[in-house]
Structure 1
Amino acid sequence: MSQTSLPISTDSASEEVPAWLSADAAAWASARPASWARPLWSVLALLATVATAIAMEPLSVCSDAAPCGPDWIGMVQAGLAIGLLYWNARLPELALVAAPVLVAIVAWEELPSAGWGSRAANLAVIAALGLGWAAAWVRLAARRRQWQLVGRAATTERRRWEPAGPRRRGTIPIAAGLALCAVAAGAIALGLRAVHEDERQAARATRTQTEVTGRTDMSLRVRAHDGRRITVDALFPEDYRLGTTVTVLEDESGPRLAAEPYDALGWQLLVLAGGLPGLSLLTTGLLARRRSTALRLAPVPALRVLERLGHDGRTWVYAADDTAGSAPLFTCVCVPVLPDADEREQFGAEITVAHHTDDIDDINDVPITETRPHEAVMLGAPYEGGELALITPGADGNPVVTHTIGPVRLPRPGKRPAGETSADS
Structure 2
Amino acid sequence: MSDFVKYLPPAAIPEGGAPEWKAADAERWRAARVPAVLGPVAGGWILLPLILCAVVLLAWNTPEDTSVGTEWAGYPAAVLLLALPAWYRFLPGASAVAAPLIALDAVLVLGELAPGDTAGRAGAGLIIGISALALTGALLRLRSRRVQRALILEAAGDARSPLPAALPDSHRTRGRTLLLTGAPLCALAAALLLTALAQDLNAPPGQPYDATGQQVLALLLLVPGTPLFGRGVTAAGAARRLHLGPQPVLRVGVRRSEDTAWILADARTPTAPPLVAFRNRFDDSYSSRPGRILVGGPSERLRAEHHDINPDTEAYEALLYGVPREGAEVVLEYAVNTHDGHIVTRFTAAPLMPFRRHRLRPWPPAGVSYAQQREERAERRRQERSSSSSSSSSGGCGSSDGGSCGSSCGGGCGGD
Q: TM-score, normalised by structure 2?
A: 0.71
CA contact (8 A) 1:393 1:399 kept: yes
| Closer/same/farther in 2, CA of residues 405 and 41 from structure 1, 3 Å limit | closer
Which whole-Å CA distance do the structure 1 matches of 2:337 and 2:92 have between them?
39
The secondary structure found in structure 2 opposite 1:394 is: strand
Alignment of 1:57-72 (within 5 A): 59-61=61-63, 67=67, 69-72=69-72
Which whole-Å CA distance do the structure 2 matches of 1:127 and 1:408 have between them?
25
Deviation at 1:19, TM superposition (A): 0.6
CA contact (8 A) 1:88 1:136 kept: yes
Q: Which residue of 2 aligns with 1:22?
A: 23
Alignment of 1:194 onto 2:136: no
Which whole-Å CA distance do the structure 2 matches of 1:53 and 1:348 have between them?
55
Deviation at 1:114, TM superposition (A): 3.6
How large is the Cα RMSD of the aligned pairs? 3.1
Q: Which residue of 2 aligns with 1:170?
A: 175
Which whole-Å CA distance do the structure 2 matches of 1:160 and 1:403 have between them?
16
Alignment of 1:83 onto 2:83: yes
Which whole-Å CA distance do the structure 1 matches of 2:160 and 2:111 have between them?
56
> 1:308 aligned to 244, 247, 255, which one?
255
User: Which residue type is aligned with residue 263 of structure 2?
Assistant: V
The secondary structure found in structure 1 opposite 2:11 is: coil
CA contact (8 A) 1:20 1:153 kept: yes
Matched residue count:
333
| Closer/same/farther in 2, CA of residues 129 and 25 from structure 1, 3 Å limit | same
Which whole-Å CA distance do the structure 1 matches of 2:322 and 2:79 have between them?
35
Q: Which residue of 2 aligns with 1:143?
A: 145
The secondary structure found in structure 2 opposite 1:276 is: helix
Alignment of 1:268 onto 2:212: no
| Closer/same/farther in 2, CA of residues 38 and 290 from structure 1, 3 Å limit | closer
User: Which residue type is aligned with residue 221 of structure 2?
Assistant: G
The secondary structure found in structure 2 opposite 1:11 is: helix
CA contact (8 A) 1:324 1:423 kept: yes
Deviation at 1:151, TM superposition (A): 0.9
**Bigger share in helix:** 2
Percentage identity across paired residues of the two chains? 26
The secondary structure found in structure 2 opposite 1:86 is: helix
Post-superposition CA distance 1:337-372 (Å, at most 9, x none): 246xxxxxxx85569xxxxxxxxxxxxxxxx97434
The secondary structure found in structure 1 opposite 2:227 is: helix
Post-superposition CA distance 1:194-225 (Å, at most 9, x none): 3234x22x45xxxxxxxxxxxxxxxxxxxxxx
Which whole-Å CA distance do the structure 2 matches of 1:274 and 1:381 have between them?
34
> 2:360 aligned to 401, 411, 416, which one?
416
| Closer/same/farther in 2, CA of residues 50 and 68 from structure 1, 3 Å limit | farther
CA contact (8 A) 1:22 1:319 kept: yes
| Closer/same/farther in 2, CA of residues 316 and 49 from structure 1, 3 Å limit | closer
| Closer/same/farther in 2, CA of residues 35 and 309 from structure 1, 3 Å limit | closer
Q: TM-score, normalised by structure 1?
A: 0.69
Which whole-Å CA distance do the structure 2 matches of 1:348 and 1:305 have between them?
19
CA contact (8 A) 1:43 1:88 kept: no
Alignment of 1:317 onto 2:268: no
Which whole-Å CA distance do the structure 1 matches of 2:63 and 2:251 have between them?
68
Deviation at 1:46, TM superposition (A): 6.5
CA contact (8 A) 2:69 2:209 kept: yes
Larger Rg: 2
Alignment of 1:332 onto 2:332: no
| Closer/same/farther in 2, CA of residues 53 and 95 from structure 1, 3 Å limit | same
The secondary structure found in structure 2 opposite 1:73 is: coil
Deviation at 1:302, TM superposition (A): 0.6
Q: Which residue of 2 aligns with 1:237?
A: none
User: Which residue type is aligned with residue 101 of structure 1?
Assistant: L
Deviation at 1:193, TM superposition (A): 3.0
The secondary structure found in structure 1 opposite 2:250 is: strand
User: Which residue type is aligned with residue 142 of structure 1?
Assistant: S
Which whole-Å CA distance do the structure 2 matches of 1:12 and 1:46 have between them?
47
Alignment of 1:111-122 (within 5 A): 111-115=111-115, 117=118, 118-122=120-124
| Closer/same/farther in 2, CA of residues 391 and 46 from structure 1, 3 Å limit | closer
Q: Which residue of 1 aligns with 2:156?
A: 154
CA contact (8 A) 1:331 1:411 kept: no
CA contact (8 A) 2:80 2:98 kept: yes
User: Which residue type is aligned with residue 291 of structure 1?
Assistant: A
What stretches of structure 2 of length at least 5 have no aligned partner?
Answer: 295-308, 368-416
Deviation at 1:186, TM superposition (A): 0.8
| Closer/same/farther in 2, CA of residues 158 and 378 from structure 1, 3 Å limit | closer
Select between 397-406 and 117-126 the one with higher mean Cα deviation. Answer: 117-126
Which whole-Å CA distance do the structure 2 matches of 1:146 and 1:104 have between them?
32
What stretches of structure 1 of length at least 5 have no aligned partner?
Answer: 204-257, 340-346, 352-367
